[in-house]
Amino acid sequence: MTALPRFMVAPNGARLTKADHPALPVTIEETVACALACHAAGADGLHAHVRDTEQRHVLDLGLYAELLSELGQRAPDLYVQITSEAAGRFTPAEQRHLVETLKPRAVSVALREITADQENAVTRRFFAMCAEAMIDVQHILYDTADIAHLARLVAQGD
């Protein structure tokens, strides 16, 4: 297994569009170009979001597969982490489906989003699948309540 990145860039996020900043990478081609430029400047990791034709953040299997394939060919040593961010649009089931189907090398998962359906057994199976598939998971904890929630889940064996 390769080492975790020392310098990870997150060039586009889930909410801003070209109306906010004209250079924001929103297409696969733009995201790849940005990732390659950042990699050439010393970044060894990319936190990636994909967008639809309306520039909205999506959890689209095809777009993520295309991005991962393109970056795998053009920058095979770049650590690429996709996001499962709900951004107020996606359910925990949709987030899990993306990761379970794509099985990326790495994913960021917001604990409060992935556990929003309150099904600890489902959450446990999801994280077990990630471990079995050797998917690196970055747990996003937004505040002390999220930290306490994670501590409770760990203590319960979830």
Give pLDDT tens digits for 17-35: 999 999 999 999 999 999 9
Question: Which tokens belong to 53?
Answer: 């034709």
| Burial class (CB within 10 angstroms; exposed 0-12, middle 13-18, buried 19+) of 109 | buried
Q: pTM score, two decimals?
A: 0.92
| Last residue in a domain, options 26, 55, 83 | 83
Q: Domain range spanning residue 4?
A: 1-83
If you ran DSSP here, which 8-state letter would residue 45 be given?
E
The model's pLDDT over 38-48, given as tens digits with 9 standing for 90+, comes to 999 999 999 99
Kindly state whether residues 17 and 63 are assigned to the same domain: yes
Kindly state whether residues 46 and 94 are assigned to the same domain: no
As a whole number of angstroms, the distance between CA 114 and CA 96 comes to 8
Number of domains in the chain: 2
Give the count of beta carbons closer than 10 Å to the beta carbon of residue 42. 9
| Last residue in a domain, options 49, 68, 83 | 83
Kindly state whether residues 41 and 95 are assigned to the same domain: no
Phi/psi at 28 (nearest 5 deg)?
A: -60, -45
